[in-house]
A and B are shown apart, each in its own frame.
Chain A
Amino acid sequence: MKVLVPVKRVVDYNVKVRAKSDESGPDLSNAKMAINPFCEIAIEEAVRIKEAGNAEEVIAVSVGDSSSQEQLRTCLALGADRAILIETDEFVEPLGVAKALKEVVSRESPDLIILGKQAIDGDANQTGQMLAAMLDLPQGTFASEVEIQDGAVQVTREIDGGLQTLSLTMPAIITTDLRLNEPRYASLPNIMKAKKKPLEILSSSDLGLDLSPRQNTLKVTPPPERAAGIMVEDIEQLVDKLKNEAKVIT
């Protein structure tokens, strides 16, 4: 079995991103970049499936500019066997990313495709589901447990109010939620080894795809500020303020 894991380079989750003062976009100058946390969980799951003897190969793929090679090397250090970068300098929406990934899927014919449920930059939560629809494949989104069975995969999903378990025919698409696993750290020897693993670079124009955005971002602004609050001395004062000033309790 072959597992494909699409990953995204995003701003590190600890960075508090602000809008540029001219409202043209988020200010990412000098921001630390990293692999999207949910993508890291996806790689970990794929590697665990391989380690359990249920897959022979794990392939990491990314759509982005050449700096995304850094995140693909991270994936290789975490246990992926090889990597593919679909290189583009343009901003690509999830719809375009899914179209590019569809080409990779048709070349590689993976049995399982595992993605993060959302990227923490655009917060769109679309790519996995879109890819599944384009390929007419079943999807198990927001997965907290994945069990490979004979010709099928059972996925437990985090849904509002609880958990739902589905059985999907393979090939199938899975998107990861927080509790699926705890990703490992790459060891130094594995980081060294990753430098020698194959990383193929394709240009998005070679794929002959139109990945141009369908949405115009007119402006990016800071969220409304909250008015400064006050510190209270004790519980008694807090309850008094909530009752008589904010009037949110009786």
Chain B
Amino acid sequence: MSILVIAEHDNSELKGATLNTVAAAKEIGGDIDILVAGMDCESVADSASQIPGVSNVLLANKETYKNSLAENLGNLIVELSDGYSHIMAPATTNGKNFMPRVAAKLDVSQISDISAVISDDTFERPIYAGNCIATVQSTDSIKAITVRTTGFDACESSGGSASINSIENDTNAGVSSFVKEEIAESDRPELTAAEVVISGGRGMQNGDNFSLLNGIADKLGAAIGASRAAVDSGFVPNDMQVGQTGKIVAPDLYIAVGISGAIQHLAGMKDSKVIVAINKDEEAPIFSVADYGLVADLFEALPELEAKL
């Protein structure tokens, strides 16, 4: 077996989601290559080559791949697919964007968001917002897979010495172009990589009140998330959304504040190691998944929590 993992990166840094994906690839077993496609991304290829257990790093360093346009990247992966039994990427917005194109071009059925590897052709994946776990067996000759990063502990990032091979394929489809990007600048850890996450829901009442979470997040080194209800109400932007249709997180500590616990939200956080819920409604479903529940008015509880930490 031979596995191609598509690296997640921003042209300067290899993202942690790649390490979770390589970990999943190792559970399948076989040779592992990593594709780094981007522009001026040599440092990413260097990092990828240091992951233990990786045989080759394929470096496609071209303007065509600078912004990870799905059309260009998808075509490149299809060109490189010959000889691979598995093609894998993390189920980030980037992986979700290009992988189905690869699968369709290869005429294979993609296995989305795997949370466990059973064998080289059988995987577990959550369906119905994580209320059911399906065990699915692929009959396709090439398995196109996206990996739920919270399902696999990151592998080691150093100690390996894979060779880096430049590839010259240029698969510019010429149908899409990059206009601009607005990436939120923040000193806080990324939601999906944070060890502690504190999230607010509709109970926060407005966007300004989310600042009540800042001091606590600062003290705990936490990322700040939100429920879909809070996003729908316009309190905070959608990239803070934790849930079925937002980010999937599994930190060591998840603190849910003013979140009732709709199934769509639970789907995004119930694999967290320790869950704390603070809600004034003692009947809120969030308490059913919480390790520690506190029935309290969040406007009194949050300042007190910040002071006690």
Q: A residues bordering B, Cβ < 8 Å?
A: 11, 13, 16-19, 26, 38, 93-95, 98, 117-118, 120-134, 136-142, 144, 154, 157-169, 172, 177-179, 213-223, 226-227, 229-232, 234-236, 238-239, 241-242, 246, 248-249
Contacts and interface: CB of A to CB of B under 8 A. Distances in A.
Contacts of A128: 100
A216 B94 contact: no
Nearest to B107: A95
Interface residues of B, number: 88
Contacts of A137: 175
A249 B176 contact: no
A248 B196 contact: yes
Given A19-B132, A94-B110, A221-B133, A160 B239 contact: yes
A26 B132 contact: yes
A130 B104 contact: yes
A217 B134 contact: yes
22 contacts: A16-B263, A120-B245, A133-B101, A136-B173, A139-B101, A140-B176, A159-B93, A162-B183, A165-B181, A166-B177, A169-B175, A169-B176, A220-B134, A223-B133, A223-B270, A226-B275, A229-B292, A232-B292, A232-B294, A235-B308, A248-B253, A249-B309
Contacts of A129: 70, 96-101, 104
A117 B253 CA distance: 30
A239 B101 contact: no
Contacts of A93: 109
Contacts of A164: 67, 178, 180-182
Interface string B1-41: 00000000000000000000000000000000000000000
Nearest to A11: B128
Interface of B: 67, 69-71, 74, 92-94, 96-105, 107-113, 122, 126-140, 173, 175-184, 190, 192, 196, 220, 228, 231-232, 238-239, 241, 244-245, 247, 252-253, 263-264, 270, 273-276, 287, 289-296, 301, 304-305, 308-309
A214 B122 contact: no
Most buried by B among A17, A126, A127, A137: A126
A168 B178 contact: no
Contacts of A165: 178-181
Provide the main secondary structure of the chain B interface: mixed
Contacts of A236: 308
Nearest to A163: B182
Given A139-B71, A142-B96, 9 more contacts: A26-B131, A120-B244, A133-B101, A137-B175, A161-B184, A218-B136, A220-B133, A235-B294, A249-B253
Given A122-B127, A229-B292, A133 B74 contact: yes
A61 B115 CA distance: 32
Nearest to A123: B127
Q: Chain B CB within 10 Å — which of A138, A219, A236, A248 has the most? A: A248
B291 A230 contact: yes
A215 to B, nearest CB: 5
Contact of A231 (B92, B98, B244, B287): B287
Contacts of A222: 131-133
Instruction: Determine which residue in A131, A172, A178, A227 has the highest number of CB atoms from chain B within 10 A of its CB, and name it.
Output: A178
Contact of B294 (A98, A142, A213, A234): A234
A167 B179 contact: yes
A158 B292 contact: no
A230 B293 CA distance: 6
A125 B138 CA distance: 17
